[in-house]
Structure 1
Amino acid sequence: MPILEPDPWRQQFFDHCLCPNDLNIPIKDPDAYRMNPLHAWAYNKLMIAEKQNLICGPHDIEPGFYPVFSKPIYNLRSMGSNSGVIIDRQEYSKRYNPGFMWVEILEGEHLSTDMAVVDGEALWFAHAIGYPEKEGTFDYWKILADHRQETEAYLQAFISENFTHYRGMMNFETIGGRIIEMHLRFADQWPDLYGEPFVPSLIELYRSGSWRLGPLNRTGCSVVLFGEHRNYRKPSQAFLAQFIDHDQVTSIQLPFHETMDYRRHSMPPGGFRLAIVNGFSLEKCKETRDVIRQEFKRLNDLNLTEE
């Protein structure tokens, strides 16, 4: 399929639209990396920090202050694998890891921003605020119907300088208006919340360099369920289908492979991601998460971590 979505739980977002066979639209970072050799440096988090004059360095150079935030320089599997705060020199010596970096800790609003970009110009923005929990996990994301003008201006200046020959989607994660990571694709966790015109607009962007979709006009939410790190049996699709009403709850994803050992999944230290509930009612999505939590508990005979 020309829309390169390998995850079966997310093909629901794309299988209703025909995409020309001569297009290849990357959804995952390994595909985006291979398809964009000129801009593949976008996945180098150390370079991103350096371009913004943040205080940072590879693990081979010890920080001159603590605490700092540690993460892989490259992590095309995403999900914040093995990232976290290092509080002092003793912990640094224990967690030293070649291929990792440290950076000053940023504070402020944590945004995920999708952008449609043509030759260094942003044609469209969509922002989501993350509400973090422990060790790289999130309670939920709120997909916004309004702008973040300062962040948009900052990102526009960044792509004007660095992406003058790029056409396609981009995703930036920012904290306090500074970039912590970027991707040459969009966030495939909630495209249903962008509305039906999103996928046709996506196809047209990669086909001709034009963009049809206007600003978002409705706030959505993407509620996440985490459990302990272990193997799980999944609830059935029939069980999940009863909660979908295409308005309050628009989709449910179980974003892991049931037949794959849990250690082979890229997950944050704070938990194993079991389910994602998207919709336009935060209350209803959280209620659905609670019901799914109990079904996981019933199927797997365990106590799940609380959000």
Structure 2
Amino acid sequence: MTGRVVIVVGASSGIGLAASIAFAALDDDLVLVSRSADALKAAETACRDAGSGEVDAVVEDIGDPAAAERIVARTLDRHGCVDVVVHTATVMAYGTVEAMPADVFTAVVDTAVHGTVHLSRAVLPVLRRQRTGTFIGVNSLLGPVTVPQMGAYAASKWGQRAVLRTLQQETRDEPRVHVCIVSPGSINTPIYYQAANYSGRVVRPPWPVLAPERVAAAIVRLADRPRRHVSVPVGPGNPLVIAGFRLLPLLYDRLVGPLFRLAALSRGRSEPTVGNVHRPAPARERVHGHWPEPH
């Protein structure tokens, strides 16, 4: 399908930007949403160059309860309908639950959980009136598992997954209104290098690392052929990690700490930083991170 009206929240970097460009290449009309005005301008240019029929850039923070209403109202005023909504906005933080400042932990959870709630409450009534449309939430491998020093991110993704699964159940009465979930593993985006970090070490995406275009392709496929009641994984190791967490918890708990330190923490020391949790870092926003370059 082409010529759709697609809202992408978190469109200025990483998976959100890759998905925006993928939809643009299909000649869809785009509403790009990000709290980062400068990076959003670059995203708008990239989507126009990719072939989008129309691009509207909206500077909003989905953590603001009123932002989603403004985004949807502006989209309806300009385009008259909403066909697809993709929620990719997220922030990440490293460090133990004890070491992480409370405001950082709360902000990480709020972006994923309350951002999803705000957006769904604004857009699902529109999809119900239309009797058609697709809401796609980008979750994570950490949606159903936990990893030491990623408690804030895991809590955000467990909570977001619960909201999305509930929305799937609550939209069963509308057979053409779909709520879909995408669960990427380790993806080469800038999020790792923008993250809040209280681990004491420089962080990196753990192997195997996939390109964000892989996730974007999965998102576009769901927009074309929505799948209810499943979470679409992107990453070859996802099923193995989830199976270990559920079926072999004692072995999982013994191995996950050492493996995390080996795969996700480099030898370099890092001072505590809040990263982009409270405010954007536009200079670092792009489709790809710098893996496998040393950091």
Which structure has more strand as a fraction of its residues?
1
User: RCO (CA 8 Å, sep 6+): is it higher in 1 or 2?
Assistant: 2
Which structure has more helix as a fraction of its residues?
2
TM over 0.5, yes or no? no
